[in-house]
Amino acid sequence: MTSELRVADLPLDWAQYSILVVDDEPGMRSFLARSLLARCNQVETVGSVEAAENLLLRQRFDLIILDITLPGKSGITWLSELRDKGFSGDVILITAFADLETAINALRAGASDFLLKPFRLPQMLNAIQRCCERARLVRENFVLRREVDELSGTIDGLVGNSAVMREACAMIKRIAPTPSTVLISGESGTGKEVAARALHRMSQRANGPFVPLNCSAISAELIESELFGHVKGAYTGAQGARDGLFYYASGGTIFLDEVAELPMAMQAKLLRVLEERRIRPVGSEQEISVDVRIVAATNRSLEAEVATDRFRRDLYYRLQVIEVRMPPLREHTGDIPALIAHFIQSLAPQLGIAQLRVPDAAMHALMADYDWPGNIRELRNWVERSLILGEFCSDFLPVPSQRASLNLATAGLSLDELEKQHILATLDACRGNKSLAAQQLGVSRKTLDRRCADWGR
Note whether residue 364 is domain-resident. yes
Q: What is the DSSP letter of 253?
A: E
Please state, in angstroms and as integers, the Cα–Cα distance from residue 171 to each residue in 45, 160, 182, 319, following that order: 46, 15, 11, 16
Both 118 and 170 in one domain: the answer is no
Both 47 and 118 in one domain: the answer is yes
pLDDT at 405: 43
Both 194 and 313 in one domain: the answer is yes
Please state, in angstroms and as integers, the Cα–Cα distance from residue 423 to each residue in 98, 197, 319, 396, following that order: 72, 30, 29, 18
Both 294 and 373 in one domain: the answer is no
Residue ending a domain, choose from 364, 382, 397: 397
Q: Kindly tell me the burial class for residue 12, based on how many C-beta atoms sit within 10 Å of its own C-beta (0-12, 13-18, 19 or more).
A: exposed
Note whether residue 1 is domain-resident. no
Which residue range forms the structural domain that includes residue 52? Answer: 7-134
Does the structure show a pLDDT above 50 at 9? no
Note whether residue 145 is domain-resident. no
**Mean of pLDDT values over 336-344:** 89
**Mean of pLDDT values over 247-260:** 93
Note whether residue 119 is domain-resident. yes
Both 393 and 410 in one domain: the answer is no
Both 298 and 342 in one domain: the answer is no
Both 359 and 431 in one domain: the answer is no
- The single-letter code of the amino acid at 429 is A
Both 36 and 87 in one domain: the answer is yes
Alpha helices in 110-206 (DSSP H): 121-150, 163-175, 192-201
Note whether residue 242 is domain-resident. yes
Both 162 and 308 in one domain: the answer is yes
Both 303 and 178 in one domain: the answer is yes
Note whether residue 2 is domain-resident. no
In the sheet with 113-116, reading across from the earlier edge strand, the strands are 42-46, 18-22, 63-67, 90-95, 113-116
CA dihedral 345, 350, 354, 360 (to 10 degrees): -40
Condensed to tens digits (0 to 9), the pLDDT of residues 324-338 reads: 999 999 999 889 988
Residue ending a domain, choose from 279, 297, 325: 325
**Mean of pLDDT values over 390-408:** 51
**Mean of pLDDT values over 104-131:** 86
Condensed to tens digits (0 to 9), the pLDDT of residues 267-280 reads: 999 999 999 999 98
- C-alpha angle 283/287/290, rounded to 5°? 120
Both 156 and 280 in one domain: the answer is yes
Per cent of the chain over pLDDT 70 is 84
Condensed to tens digits (0 to 9), the pLDDT of residues 160-206 reads: 888 898 899 889 999 999 999 999 999 999 999 999 999 998 899 98
pLDDT at 8: 39
Q: How far apart are CA 453 and CA 448, in angstroms?
A: 9
Report the number of distinct structural domains present in the chain: 4
Residue ending a domain, choose from 134, 167, 184: 134
Condensed to tens digits (0 to 9), the pLDDT of residues 277-300 reads: 999 888 888 888 889 999 999 999
CATH number assigned to the domain comprising residue 391: 1.10.8.60
Radius of gyration of the chain (CA): 27
Higher pLDDT, 19 or 106: 19
Of the pLDDT bands very low, low, confident and very high (cuts 50, 70, 90), residue 12 is very low
Both 225 and 278 in one domain: the answer is yes
Note whether residue 443 is domain-resident. yes
CATH number assigned to the domain comprising residue 406: 1.10.10.60
Note whether residue 309 is domain-resident. yes
CATH number assigned to the domain comprising residue 183: 3.40.50.300
